[in-house]
């Protein structure tokens, strides 16, 4: 069982310093955040990727927030695909995988209709990735709002039918389900996956789902830690998305080791 922890982004210190800091703190991963747009050149991505490799830090990427593969407006769908592909190109040079993103919104339509629209878009994106020979995996993420695609079951179906990866955000599942999560059930559903790419943080929510990420508390993390020890996944990366990106990643690691 190999479990590594890391921050989502660098808290503003930049990726060269962030990778050095992650190494200094004994963390094993870091997620490069393109959440507000892809503002990194391929050459820069290559240098950061080389530094991460020599530092023993495993990189992944989070694509921009402005993505809706199921938008009713064709221009928005095309712009969303472009943003995902830009993220994938940089991820290739960063040697980072997977590329995590929130796939879309229901906007009053049925789950099945949105599922099929997103599945088609992901297959097209993967064709483009293969054409460019980029060494990356797409990983749509479990989302925290009920208006967003999607929960765990839909993503597992998507993985099976479209051949993509997935990102399991446990805090999002908790918020999406009004503060309830059965970790045994979740791990039973994902136990066949060779590697689990996951997110976690403290979270606030309303009846509509996720409201905001907050600092992590030991009592909130403990049930997840116990479930990991019980189910023993082969390989797992847990990215901390709380406001204290490094601090809570270190605390998670320490609490887990306890």
Segment 30-56, tens digit of pLDDT: 999 999 999 999 999 999 999 999 999
Q: How are beta strands 209-214 and 202-206 bridged, if at all?
A: antiparallel
pLDDT band of residue 91 (cuts 50, 70, 90) is: very high
Predicted pLDDT of residue 156: 98
Residue 124 φ then ψ, to 5°: -65, -40
What is the value of pTM for the model shown? 0.97
Percent of the chain's residues with pLDDT above 90? 100
Q: Using CA atoms, how far apart are residues 56 and 191, in angstroms rounded to an integer?
A: 26
Residue 96 φ then ψ, to 5°: -110, 140
Predicted pLDDT of residue 249: 98
Question: What is the CATH number that goes with domain 2-257?
Answer: 3.20.20.150
Segment 1-31, tens digit of pLDDT: 999 999 999 999 999 999 999 999 999 999 9
Asked whether the bond before 101 is cis by omega within 30 degrees of 0, the reply is no
Segment 187-240, tens digit of pLDDT: 999 999 999 999 999 999 999 999 999 999 999 999 999 999 999 999 999 999
Domain positions in the chain are: 2-257
Residue that the structure tokens 């200094």 belong to: 24
Q: Using CA atoms, how far apart are residues 51 and 194, in angstroms rounded to an integer?
A: 26
């Amino acid at each position: 069982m190999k479990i590594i922890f890391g921050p989502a982004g660098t808290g503003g210190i930049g990726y060269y310093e962030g990778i050095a800091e992650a190494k200094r703190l004994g963390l094993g991963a870091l997620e490069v955040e393109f959440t507000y747009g892809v503002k990194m050149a391929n050459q820069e991505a290559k240098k950061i990727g080389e530094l991460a490799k020599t530092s023993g830090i495993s990189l992944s990427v989070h694509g921009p927030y402005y993505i809706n593969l199921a938008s009713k407006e064709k221009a928005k769908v095309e712009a969303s695909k472009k943003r995902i592909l830009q993220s994938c190109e940089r991820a290739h040079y960063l040697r980072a995988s997977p590329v995590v993103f929130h796939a879309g919104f229901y906007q009053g339509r049925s789950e099945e209709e949105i599922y099929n629209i997103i599945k088609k878009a992901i297959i097209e994106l993967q064709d483009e990735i293969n054409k460019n020979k980029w060494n990356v995996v797409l990983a749509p993420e479990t989302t925290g709002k009920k208006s967003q695609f999607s929960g765990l079951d839909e993503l597992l179906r998507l993985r099976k039918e479209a051949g993509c990866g997935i990102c399991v955000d446990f805090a999002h599942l908790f918020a999406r389900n009004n503060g309830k999560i059965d970790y045994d059930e979740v791990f039973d559903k994902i136990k066949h996956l060779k590697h689990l790419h996951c997110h976690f943080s403290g979270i606030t929510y309303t009846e509509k789902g996720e409201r905001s990420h907050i600092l992590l508390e030991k009592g909130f993390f403990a049930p997840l830690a116990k479930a990991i020890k019980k189910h023993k996944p082969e390989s797992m990366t847990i990215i901390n998305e709380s406001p204290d990106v490094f601090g809570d990643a270190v605390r998670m690691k320490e609490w887990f080791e306890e």
